[in-house]
Structure 1
């Protein structure tokens, strides 16, 4: 029997909730089944299904869908196939052939068949890709898998990634999130090989159980080096303040220890970062408008290798790591802070000679009026405790009280200021038995430091003249700012004794750059410059000039800053401090040119030069930099025969380029040290990005330090080749191969 009906079958639950509904233009009824033709539709609570024909068995509650089957979830087409079987009593279905595509990411999955249980599809012998269905640039073949439409996750067992028909990666299991949401599972591994580490494999596993915290466990193995584990924990509290904690451990094999004479077989450490404002209000419930906060950036490591445990390609470009703890509270008139600094020398097996700031306590009274509104003052107090295991440690207290007046004239284009600063402080030093000191005008040889206590008090006056002039032209605006500042102690009001007497201060002021570097490198030499108040005892004139040019849009297109200082306490020349010039311009969008030049009138030559040019526009980015620095030790003592010894200069050039040249992209970088006559870093590569796939290859070399037994550092010159693959929109991974390294031994300073 055949007839036209709008509704063929409607089934309701015991509570009269509609379970499913069958509709079609033509419905044929038979003994045990019915057939729906023409715009055949099946609707239930989870899906809206359209097919050419639906065969429904009411006894089995089975619906067989045939011909152009389209399954919609909400307004989204989730499955398109030629036939499917759905069991309506248990919300179960069989789909053959199976094809599903995520509309947001474009990721599609194709399999011979799949079964559906509620919102999850399980399938076998599948193909997954984000490229076109015909001849995809990349694909993943898997033995089995599932797709959860509710969680937007795709899981695959024994997946093999192909580029064209070439297999490039295999994993026992992969799990993807097709939405930008936190989901537990394996992340893509880091792969590589090198002459030092062998084959390296880092496999992160991401855990996100609750919304306010997550963590990542990353076991790793480097076949020629050792095994280890990285742990990262991240959390957000109720105030939306973030916490980040890392623990890392690595065990070096005995063969690696013997090959490189490495210092530590067990490499370990941790680092912690956190910041928070309004701590008193959040933690203690105080009803106050007091601005307060804290900041933590603290790390400990027993080896420089700790810095490289996250990534086999990590290039270390710093010699120290500074841990910081800052606590503060302030009002509109007062500030109180506690700061601690812990300095790790990454190139030294021990940190015993580094002075640590534990802690630095400061109180500051902001600028206010005294008696009359024209008379201004502020107040500052500092207490510092500097401690180390080897060499002197100290405890100091300092106060400063500046009082002065500032007047403007000529319609506020100019201003003049006069200030009187009162300074006082004392110092107590311990462990000074082996401490050396430079004293006197011609301080070339250090002597033994006698005593542990020092005090000082003095008055300092400052006179300043400032101007701020601006003028608008047709297409740009010019601003000119100048200042002349004369600062001098009042000699009759200067007092110092003990380990900061005048002879010691004079000796330190005349030290050469090489002598200062000995102090900075941790030698037990007395350093009075650590007391900020003593830095104000110089008779000095500072001249500053600054020019700025802005276009009609308010963008800075040119600047020039000039600074020249005269030290009238220098017994050799008032002009030993070089003149500083900083010039920069951006004549066109994306192009930036700047230079920093220090010229010494005393030496009649440049003492420091920094040049930089960069261009960024669309897919192009290029830069080139040059840096030169000279110091006093490179000049002969006789001013009439000054000559420059360029072999001792810090002198290097670096350049980089990245751009899409149409058929392919190109990237390159290089750094050359003129002092050592070595290329310290070089790399070049090509890459190609298409809509769903990208591939790149880069080759180069860099220099990596390793702490060695004894007081030395091994510098490894690594030559590497790195291949990178991008599988859009899933992820990208790369493989780095390092050739047999060249090892260079260096003594630790």
Structure 2
């Protein structure tokens, strides 16, 4: 037993004596722990050899040999010296000299690895004092050290461990072993936390706009706020500035404010016949999931929330010019702003909403003034209540709409909807029977002066009330099999539109506003009632679920039968719908939703998608067709085809493409093909893009332009990179 304990006691004694020697000259400062297989002490010097390990503050140093002098507090290490500082840095060298008193280090040769960013730096020699490391001639890269694809050679460098900022002098960039670029000075931060600085720039060349350059600036304003400024220059078109202020005012809320301005050069403005020589706007987004609690200090049992998305701009080019990549920008003829406030509890829901529509391409300069806005909408909803052992149900929903606009008639409309349902199950739950009585009412009142183009005398206070009856019979049957289960459902619903009564506005415009093409559309601006006639709706649904719970097939058939005629449809069969979703395999899926009109003997609408997706391939086809000729003479048909595909060859290579075609107007809407190569230290990609986007010409005329791009993406990780593109532009058409 004694012989087995001797080495352990001997090593412990040596470690204790050596630790005492280290601590004494430092006057009981930071503890230095010293471990080694062999320790020899002579006077003020101690020599260690074999698996030397030193622990000092948050650093761990290992070496083959070490010598320490307590007078000079110098520690010399040699042979496979590795220093680990915390969990972020690793220093490697053959010889290291450390002055513990002066906090100076000398390492040769020198190798440093910043683990979070995976950036390494190698040189023949380095010296450091406190938190600064001075490095002689060396190399820096983020690639694999054994075979780096890109490297930066330098004559000297210094690195601050605390700020993580590195300065590089006389930098020579090599790619694939070939020198490509010389920069006298290059500075970069290895800190991945939020900090003020320049972001990745964007470059481009356009046949019509010249050279494009955008240099974003990121500014940290605090722990919960920052600012991003994006100045841009288009040498043949003009200059602009966009900025976004982001903030989080509590743990449950955040928001952003975006402002933008772009000024056209006079030559470009005149040559392209644009509507405006200045494009400006703003956007404000905010969401708060505890707004009443946070703002008013209320202690509520329910949940409150606020969502805001407010957008304003003087024309569509404010969106087009917000970046150089317009293919990722959604443009529309109308901008929709909204503010939603709600409070939701177990039995009741309260809501207040603001909706504002902004027209971006008004051929009529007064169109914005006559657009009806809903400011505000008030809603109350009482959730389903049950009585008589859950056989009797009722709910209540009310809405109040306040219609406002700059010019023209305004109004206030209130509606109430009270459905009451009585239901039961028969024949041991094989058959479900339900009866619903639905009481519905509206009231509208007007104010302000009417438009001169509106039929005189129609804006009387209007009342509308109806009582409809519905009987529903349904059954659902499920059968289990070895690998799957099958569920089918049948339903038949008879709706009797009992009694209704109209007065005032609702009665005066009803016939014209419920026709396919009203004789005076302006009369119908406030009329949103739809004809509900007696009908029978037949439905069939089936599901197939496999043993893992995944849906394999979903199928739904719906056939309405009109028992009386309306202004838009005659008595008889309504539009038949067939919806089908099929997971053919784990990789292949198909979806179809088709409507057929028996009254017009033609396909009314169809949407088809087919997709194949596995670890390597993702290929999709979609087709949309809609026949609106019976109610829309301007754009009677929609005929749209979309194809997308991507192929991941391996963990590095990815190829992709997209194509969108408007078959009705024979216009290519969008096309893209490209590839992306990704590795640990760099990304390189190229793509060719064609994109059709709208613009606004002088006189309120809408037009579209066809952009052709060639994008080059180069990113040196983690130093950064940029996306460079070349673009040509053609004007397609005017409306």
TM over 0.5: yes
Provide the C-alpha distance between the structure 1 equivalents of 2:389 and 2:54, rounded to a whole number of angstroms.
87
1:175 aligns with 2:188: yes
Q: Which runs of 5+ in 2 are unaligned?
A: 1-13
1:681 aligns with 2:676: no
Provide the C-alpha distance between the structure 2 equivalents of 1:417 and 1:352, rounded to a whole number of angstroms.
48
1:413 aligns with 2:418: no
Maintained 8 Å contact 2:691/2:708:
yes
Query: C-alpha deviations, 1:21-76, integer Å up to 9, x for none?
Result: 78875779899x99877666665435343456667777765556555432222477
The residue aligned with 2:150 is: 138
Q: How does 1:228-267 map to 2 (within 5 A)?
A: 228-267=240-279
Per the TM alignment, residue 664 of structure 1 is displaced from its structure 2 partner at its CA by: 4.9
The 1:626–1:81 alpha-carbon spacing in structure 2 relative to 1, beyond 3 Å, is same
Structure 1 window deviating more from structure 2 (657-666 vs 153-162): it is 153-162
The residue aligned with 1:727 is: 716
1:631 aligns with 2:635: no
Provide the C-alpha distance between the structure 1 equivalents of 2:621 and 2:183, rounded to a whole number of angstroms.
41
Query: C-alpha deviations, 1:183-213, integer Å up to 9, x for none?
Result: 3332222222222433222222333454333
Per the TM alignment, residue 171 of structure 1 is displaced from its structure 2 partner at its CA by: 11
Maintained 8 Å contact 1:357/1:387:
yes
SS where residue 509 of structure 2 aligns?
Answer: helix
The residue aligned with 1:587 is: 584
The residue aligned with 2:304 is: 292
Maintained 8 Å contact 1:460/1:537:
no
1:362 aligns with 2:379: yes
Structure 1 window deviating more from structure 2 (170-179 vs 43-52): it is 170-179
Per the TM alignment, residue 96 of structure 1 is displaced from its structure 2 partner at its CA by: 4.2
Maintained 8 Å contact 2:122/2:138:
yes
Maintained 8 Å contact 1:274/1:296:
yes
The 1:42–1:367 alpha-carbon spacing in structure 2 relative to 1, beyond 3 Å, is closer
Query: C-alpha deviations, 1:136-170, integer Å up to 9, x for none?
Result: 11234567654444565656578665432263897
Query: C-alpha deviations, 1:515-538, integer Å up to 9, x for none?
Result: 69x96xxxx3424543xxx33643
Query: C-alpha deviations, 1:542-574, integer Å up to 9, x for none?
Result: 333222111111111111122223443325623
Query: C-alpha deviations, 1:408-449, integer Å up to 9, x for none?
Result: 222233222222222222212345633667xxxxxxxxx556
Per the TM alignment, residue 489 of structure 1 is displaced from its structure 2 partner at its CA by: 2.9
The residue aligned with 1:561 is: 556
The residue aligned with 1:551 is: 546
1:226 aligns with 2:238: yes
The residue aligned with 1:324 is: 338
The 1:60–1:361 alpha-carbon spacing in structure 2 relative to 1, beyond 3 Å, is same
Query: C-alpha deviations, 1:301-340, integer Å up to 9, x for none?
Result: 2232333455311324442432221112233222221111
1:79 aligns with 2:68: no
1:526 aligns with 2:517: no
Aligned partner (choices 392, 406, 414) of residue 397 of structure 1: 414
SS where residue 295 of structure 2 aligns?
Answer: helix
The residue aligned with 2:115 is: 103
Q: Which runs of 5+ in 1 are unaligned?
A: 438-446, 637-644
Aligned partner (choices 600, 604, 616) of residue 607 of structure 1: 604
Indicate the RMSD between aligned Cα atoms, in angstroms: 3.7
SS where residue 451 of structure 1 aligns?
Answer: coil
Per the TM alignment, residue 360 of structure 1 is displaced from its structure 2 partner at its CA by: 0.6
The 1:163–1:713 alpha-carbon spacing in structure 2 relative to 1, beyond 3 Å, is farther
Aligned partner (choices 343, 346, 352) of residue 338 of structure 1: 352
1:510 aligns with 2:515: yes
1:650 aligns with 2:645: no
Query: C-alpha deviations, 1:283-310, integer Å up to 9, x for none?
Result: 3333331332222222222232333455
Q: TM-score, normalised by structure 1?
A: 0.84
Maintained 8 Å contact 2:275/2:700:
no
The residue aligned with 2:61 is: 49
The 1:56–1:371 alpha-carbon spacing in structure 2 relative to 1, beyond 3 Å, is closer
Maintained 8 Å contact 2:165/2:187:
no
Provide the C-alpha distance between the structure 2 equivalents of 1:369 and 1:62, rounded to a whole number of angstroms.
84
Provide the C-alpha distance between the structure 2 equivalents of 1:744 and 1:291, rounded to a whole number of angstroms.
51
Q: How does 1:396-545 map to 2 (within 5 A)?
A: 396-430=413-447, 433-434=450-451, 450-491=458-499, 494-501=500-507, 504-512=509-517, 524-530=522-528, 534-535=529-530, 537-545=532-540
Maintained 8 Å contact 1:562/1:581:
yes
The 1:121–1:331 alpha-carbon spacing in structure 2 relative to 1, beyond 3 Å, is same
The residue aligned with 1:659 is: 647
Q: TM-score, normalised by structure 2?
A: 0.86
Task: Name the count of aligned residue pairs.
Answer: 710
Provide the C-alpha distance between the structure 2 equivalents of 1:74 and 1:673, rounded to a whole number of angstroms.
59
Provide the C-alpha distance between the structure 2 equivalents of 1:186 and 1:746, rounded to a whole number of angstroms.
40
